[in-house]
A and B are shown apart, each in its own frame.
Chain A
């Protein structure tokens, strides 16, 4: 089971308190009625699904209830960082080669 640090509660809690909410930093197009079907499919369905560093959303559903973002390595399953919604996407260089 994962141990997840909620950036709002400031505490690491068991995965049982959290709900995974998929890939992070996918912005909904503002002109949603105008985007082409291709672009909509890209935004709505396509995922990077990387082997390695993954930016993802979690929700502290049985805690503060808030959504936040995380950087996690999908090979080791280790969390590299969690941060509040709206904070900038951390540069992946930050995490390269640090014994993930």
Chain B
């Protein structure tokens, strides 16, 4: 694989860009691999990459039913941050944030990680207390997070309306400066390119339809739309479809798949310098490098695999955006879509061995797993290679639903991620 660099750019500019290589190869599946990853999103593709890079396992297939990155990775609003409340969450999200910081260099691929700051608005006394608790917990743990007055918040994000007469008045904000955004599909493409370069097979348009098990109960491979493919280890990372895939091996999970919607506006000149989230009024917003305002809504209240949601959810979010940023009232929205998020009862993810030998699961990232892509992938690779969790993910196992040691970020983070 040819390295990307400023010299490569100059060379290709001189010859009409005729020398760029394909990012990854598309081989026919072999009959057997050491490891199969189900789901070619950022988490699955990244796990394959780290298995090769850090554990020397390269005989791997990543099996994707559509195109890689076409699931939630390609549908999300790309907020990246690590200022969660509980130790288990801070461990994995901060691990991830650190990997984001060096990811473009590691992959030789511009993932457009942009630490432009994520500001979370506080609207009432409850918010203020909750966010201050977060700020203190984070700082004790060595994670940056600071409290801003409304004036400082306005300075950081000029379009914000902080008038005392506003529909949703603001009494402060929590700011994580190292947080920000990254380019959704670049992450999958970057991992895919680097994985393919290490000999990993990326098999697209291939749906897993069954998980075959031997007489001892252990996995022996998967039935797919391209026939049977063998493997002694299978890592499942299928986001909204995790329950469906794991049911193929009779494993039940504490998941409910719900629609989560987002929308983008027509492109505008640079106007919005950071990411702003308001959990209380259910809206989050940033501006993409193309100039579109990227806006995220809340989940619909029912289980669904339809990748669409109700319009009332989107309008509710736009109501809030227009109140917080009155200058956007006449901006036109261009596109709206939904993804299917797999939500756990404690709104924290699961990375775990399962009752089926050789079967590993990475699930429950729900509405907030994009930020965790590198960290989750890195730790999931460790789990698959070693058969036991890395210490940074030790609290995320399925066993917590039996022991009761939940990681209740739902209450703490007030819904949105």
Contacts and interface: CB of A to CB of B under 8 A. Distances in A.
B403 A37 contact: yes
18 contacts: A1-B311, A2-B302, A15-B301, A15-B310, A20-B301, A41-B401, A45-B401, A46-B401, A47-B243, A47-B256, A48-B243, A48-B247, A49-B257, A51-B241, A56-B302, A74-B304, A74-B306, A75-B306
Nearest to B242: A49
Interface string A35-53: 0011011101111111100
Q: How large is the interface on A (under 10, 10 to 19, 20 to 34, 35 or more residues)?
A: 20 to 34
A88 B17 CA distance: 67
Interface string A75-89: 111000000000000
Interface in A20-43: 20, 22-23, 37-38, 40-42
B302 A72 contact: yes
Contacts of A40: 402
B302 A47 contact: no
Contacts of A54: 303
Interface residues of B, number: 26
B149 interface: no
Contacts of B305: 51, 74-75
Contacts of B401: 41, 44-46
Interface of B: 241, 243-244, 247, 252-257, 301-306, 308, 310-312, 342, 345, 401-404
Nearest to A18: B301
Interface string A49-69: 111001010000000000000
A9 interface: no
Main secondary structure of the interface of A (DSSP, over half): mixed
Contact of B303 (A15, A38, A74): A74
A1 B252 CA distance: 30
Contacts of A77: 302, 304, 306, 308
Interface of A: 1-2, 15-16, 19-20, 22-23, 37-38, 40-42, 44-51, 54, 56, 72, 74-77
Nearest to B346: A45
Given A49-B257, A51-B241, A41 B303 contact: no
Contact of A45 (B247, B254, B308, B342): B254
B402 A47 contact: no
A48 B304 CA distance: 12
A47 B247 CA distance: 11
A39 to B, nearest CB: 10
Contacts of A15: 301, 310, 312
Given A41-B402, A42-B252, A75-B306, A51 B301 contact: no
A46 B253 contact: yes
